[in-house]
Chain A
Amino acid sequence: MSDSSTKDRGQKPLIEGRVPAAELRARSEALFMSIGDGAIATDEFGKITRVNAAGLKILGFKEHELIGEWFPSKIVAVDEFDQPLNLIDRPITQTFLTGKSVSKRMYYRTKSGDVKPVFVTTAPIILKKRPIGAIEVFRDITVENEIDRMKSEFISLASHQLRTPLSAIKTYSHMLIEGFMGELEPAQKKALQTVVIATNRMNELISTLLNITRIESGSISVAPKPTNIQKVVEEIIKELAHTASAKSITLTLESTTNQLSLRTDALIVKEILTNLVSNAIKYTPEGGKVNIRLVGKGQRLTVSITDTGIGIPEHAQDQIFTKFFRAANVVRRETSGTGLGLYLVKGLADQIGAKVWFKSVENQGSTFYVSLPRDSFKAEHVVRPPDE
């Protein structure tokens, strides 16, 4: 390398002590400006001190239009219906209030009035242990959103195509059983009932796959409403009573609280509890017991499902919420499971801020616990990473 090239700006030594202060500032400025995602820095009052090139490009502003402006008033965040977000719901405000890093999917209204979906992460800028402002990094996720939309559309179509032949199989099997085409022999009826049970299982599988894909693509919608949890459990018991009585299993409900109402998505709670109760019935031998218990404590309500079933072997206990996992004692007894049920339960619980755990002793039984927040709307503020 020649002498002249080492004098170039880019070839200066990397040890900071040897670089003049002005040069260091210029380098940090260049570094900030070159970040590929949009970046905006503010002082401790929320006034914009710096915006990089990518940020200006996404928002359509010129640098001088933003510098010195109060961040939340100049950069307008809106929801998907173009309604401005409350100041308190904006990540930058959350970072100022909590001193923590916050991420959120939302929309920015650009200078020209367009609404762009963005994924935003804000963090406090700390100097000598003191916050001196905040930095926000954001990127345009129009393409990601479009891919998500196409993915959901594909799933919806695929599930439709899978269900269409099932509809005909199920309808005609029922018609044969009900004597539409003449009375059948008991053995023939029994054979058709097996067909119906198999189509029901196939239907459940399609629904499970559909739900899992929704969770994984982040396209599941949570609609919290006032919900009486006892009513939800009673409905589940009614629906599963037949399955339980076919195995002479006693299915009971015990409530130790009168504060049974909470704000949550009833359909998601029902899906979670149905999975757990039907597992309890499935893995409990004939003549056993399944008890559902409701316990209220502070800001949470816990539903526990205790069975006298085959239990989960100790060595398998840390894996049971894993996708496709099935414990060895289960595989030996029952071949029809998919290993997706508990994975789905866990995924759905995360959506509504619920916690799921269990205690189990092999050959004695298991208890699964679902602890539900009184208000799962608050779960919306949980920071979720973008789907990569």
Chain B
Amino acid sequence: MAKILIVEDDTDLNAAYKLILERDNHTVKSAFNGQEALEVLKSFEPDLILLDLLMPIMGGLEFLQNYELHKKHPNVKVLIFTNMENSPEVSEAYKLGAHRAIIKSWTAPQNLTRVINDALAEKRGVTA
């Protein structure tokens, strides 16, 4: 299955997403802010990144700028997981190459796996 990086500062949610995705047989690594994510990415090239926006030390937008998604990692899908809807931050994330934005508090585990599988399928050129 796929390699996934979770970047989420809420430890409970981070652990929950890890459990859910591992049950689907994905290889999952966790980071708790943008800086940690950049560190993990030195030795881990994921297929997909689940990214929160508001995080301490380094937020999601700053992470995307540093990661240079467009330029250096065109094949990695980034799903924004946030509780801010219609915010300028979300538009900015799209500009920086994010694939989709999802409101966390609306999302049940089934939806999470569905959204992730859809994104991974699109990546492999399979029409959803």
Please report A residues at the B interface, Cβ cutoff 8 Å: 156-157, 159-160, 163-164, 166-168, 170-172, 174-175, 178, 180, 196, 199, 203, 206-207, 210, 221
Given contacts A160-B84, A210-B85, contact A170 B108 (CB under 8 A): yes
Decide if B109 is an interface residue (CB 8 Å cutoff): yes
User: CA–CA, A115 to B109, complex, Å?
Assistant: 48
User: Nearest CB to that of B112 among chain A residues?
Assistant: A171
B residues within 8 A CB of A203? 105-106
Distance between B6 CB and nearest chain A CB, rounded to angstroms: 13
> Which positions 91-106 of chain B face chain A at CB distance < 8 Å?
103-106
B residues within 8 A CB of A160? 54, 82-84
User: Nearest CB to that of B81 among chain A residues?
Assistant: A167
B residues within 8 A CB of A159? 83-85
B residues within 8 A CB of A167? 10, 13, 83, 104-105, 107
B residues within 8 A CB of A156? 84, 87
Stretch of B16-24, B26-34, B65-73 at the chain-chain interface = B16-24
Total number of residue pairs linking A and B with CB closer than 8 Å? 62
Q: Is the CB of B87 within 8 A of A174?
A: no
Q: Is the CB of A175 within 8 A of B20?
A: yes
B residues within 8 A CB of A172? 12, 16
> Which positions 55-90 of chain B face chain A at CB distance < 8 Å?
82-87
Identify which of B17, B84, B105 gathers the most chain A CB atoms within 10 Å of its CB: B105
User: Nearest CB to that of B19 among chain A residues?
Assistant: A180
Q: Is the CB of B103 within 8 A of A168?
A: no
Q: Is the CB of A175 within 8 A of B16?
A: yes
Q: Is the CB of B23 within 8 A of A164?
A: no
Distance between B9 CB and nearest chain A CB, rounded to angstroms: 10
Given contacts A175-B20, A180-B20, A203-B105, contact A168 B85 (CB under 8 A): no
Q: Is the CB of B105 within 8 A of A166?
A: yes
User: CA–CA, A305 to B86, complex, Å?
Assistant: 29
Q: Is the CB of B23 within 8 A of A163?
A: no
Q: Is the CB of A175 within 8 A of B109?
A: yes
Q: Is the CB of B12 within 8 A of A168?
A: yes
A residues within 8 A CB of B12? 168, 172
Q: Is the CB of A178 within 8 A of B109?
A: yes
Give me 8 A-to-B residue pairs in the complex whose CB atoms sit less than 8 angstroms apart, sorted by A's number.
Answer: A156-B87, A160-B54, A164-B83, A167-B10, A167-B104, A178-B110, A203-B105, A210-B85
B residues within 8 A CB of A171? 13, 16-17, 20, 107-109
